[in-house]
Structure 1
Amino acid sequence: MRTLVALGDSTTVGLGDPLPGGGWRGFGPLLADALDARLVNLSFTGARMGCVRARQLPRALRARPEAAVMVVGMNDTLRADFDPVRLHDDLDAVVGQLTAAGTAVVTARYHDHGRVFRIPRALHLALMRRIDELNAITDRVVARHGARCLDLHVLPGAYERDAWSVDRLHPSERGHRLLAAGFAERLLEAGCHVARPVDLRCSGGAVVTPVHHAAWLVVKGVPWLWRRGQDLVPYAVSVFVQDLRRRLGW
């Protein structure tokens, strides 16, 4: 194993696993260390599926990696312009071109965010409907191209509180270690050489204190929830009305 490429959004960037000197680590470096491979991390915060296809895929192909891992799609589910057809086409292009180039590809199916981040029922229904659509797309694309998939819903430890950072949207250091271990297992199944197991003991990361939690909520958490809520609430209302009509037999 010479080169591992990491694609995706802020989870792939490593948010939730801060380093003492600043910046983020995340599952990418942990996985690369287990594979004894060079890491090329092309992810960036806020990336959507179309971003991966347009901006990250060309650079990934130039790196000629033996393996590629990808976590992306949640930002799409939170936007008003959510489009399953476009999501399918973009993911199909990314996975298809990488596998055609001889790369072992592993992507991710999403878990139930409502079990980690407590939100009103209407928002939960709306978000899960979109996550279900995204997961179904992932299943079809993975099966078509013979890629692998890490199912976060059944990943051991995925719903434990210490697996999540303060925002409950990004993994903590332990969560990133769980992701790295899960990706390593899928790559091993795909025939990739795993030099050593991922160490699940937390070490080397920055200590996150209650002060960090409060600062995040004030500076980033509340503004982020407000912005994303404006996108998702109209759709959530329509889902809630549909659910109510079904319950009442209308």
Structure 2
Amino acid sequence: MTVLEYAPQGLRQIRSLVVLGDSTAAGLGDPLPGGGWRGVGPLLADALSGTEQVRFANVSFTGARMGCVRTIQLPQALAMAPEVAVIIVGMNDTLRSDFDPERIRADLEHVVSALKAAGTVVLTVRFHDHAKVFRLPGSLRRALRSRIDALNSVIDSVSAAYDTGCLDLDLLPGAYEMSAWSVDRLHPSELGHRLLAQGFASLLAERDCAIPNPVSLTCSGGRQVGTAGHVLWLIVKGIPWLWRRGRDLVPYALSIMLKSFVGPPR
């Protein structure tokens, strides 16, 4: 069956899938018993697999920003000639001092237009309010919220212009349940990744793509992390990560705080 043929029931049978993006796209938060990460990509690939396993590649990596997707990941994705591409990226941009919505827009538009020109069904995400699952001081919360709003505005406009399927995490059922998040409250847990995969599968079903194996929300196959593991992660990974990212975001938050004290210009 070629990529232009359809399943017997009149639905398009997807044969290839690629995931681009950052650490969430890479599967962080959904550890496997033997090591490594699973995440939304393999879960969605399993949902799309019928009599044959979907050809799947994940070109994402931790720390990736929108520019990384354009310059590094896009060529790898296009070489695969995927029928479906999932893009999860942008949060790392919001945490940096050189945050630039217009540059992000140019990079995302380039990525989406190139994939669409290759005949790929493109799926994107717009982000939720991280402050609802990750406690932050007021100034930091406002700083991050304003940047997420700007990022979502870019994603909305590009998604509308190129008719991509866009998964709104703020409206995703269960997205704000603590069980949907890993210990760091920044990456989805196994359940969270399953919610993402289910959401993307629904977007593909709306585009007449076959979903032979609907995504289950019953967690299985992942490695369970106990209390000791949570504490160890916080000490070894969590606090150093917050310190590195805080050095970029805190100055911006302080400027917001200062403006709130000074008031608007007369």
Same fold (TM over 0.5): yes
1:30-75, Cα deviation, whole Å (9 max, x unpaired)? 0000011221100001100000000110111111111011110000
Q: Secondary structure at the match of 2:142?
A: helix
TM-fit CA distance, 1:189: 1.5
Q: For 1:242 and 1:38, how far apart are their aligned partners in 2?
A: 52
Determine which of 201, 204, 208 is the counterpart of 1:184.
201
- Alignment partner of 1:17 is 2:30: yes
The aligned amino acid for 2:15 is: R
Q: For 2:207 and 2:111, how far apart are their aligned partners in 1?
A: 18
Q: What's the TM-score once normalised by structure 1's chain length? A: 0.97
TM-fit CA distance, 1:239: 1.6
**1:170-249 equivalence runs, <5 A:** 170-246=187-263
- Alignment partner of 1:34 is 2:34: no
Q: Secondary structure at the match of 1:5?
A: strand
Q: For 2:197 and 2:146, how far apart are their aligned partners in 1?
A: 27
The alignment's C-alpha RMSD in Å is 1.2
The aligned amino acid for 1:28 is: G
**1:1-250 equivalence runs, <5 A:** 1-36=14-49, 37-246=54-263
Q: Secondary structure at the match of 2:102?
A: helix
8 Å CA contact 1:125–1:240 kept in 2: the answer is: no
1:2-52, Cα deviation, whole Å (9 max, x unpaired)? 100100000011000000010000011000000112211000011000000
TM-fit CA distance, 1:245: 4.5
Q: For 2:210 and 2:114, how far apart are their aligned partners in 1?
A: 22
Q: What's the TM-score once normalised by structure 2's chain length? A: 0.91
The aligned amino acid for 2:70 is: R
Q: For 2:260 and 2:216, how far apart are their aligned partners in 1?
A: 44
Q: For 1:242 and 1:108, how far apart are their aligned partners in 2?
A: 31
Q: Secondary structure at the match of 1:54?
A: helix
Q: Secondary structure at the match of 2:160?
A: helix
TM-fit CA distance, 1:244: 4.0
Identity of aligned residues (%): 62
1:184-234, Cα deviation, whole Å (9 max, x unpaired)? 111112232211210110000001101110110111100010111110011
Count of aligned pairs? 249
8 Å CA contact 1:28–1:41 kept in 2: the answer is: yes
Larger radius of gyration: 2
Q: For 1:83 and 1:188, how far apart are their aligned partners in 2?
A: 34
Greater share of helix:
1
In the TM superposition, structure 1's runs of 4+ consecutive aligned residues that sit over 3 Å from their partners are 243-246
Q: Secondary structure at the match of 1:106?
A: strand
Higher alpha-carbon deviation: 150-159 or 30-39: 30-39
Structure 2 gaps of 5+ residues are: 1-13
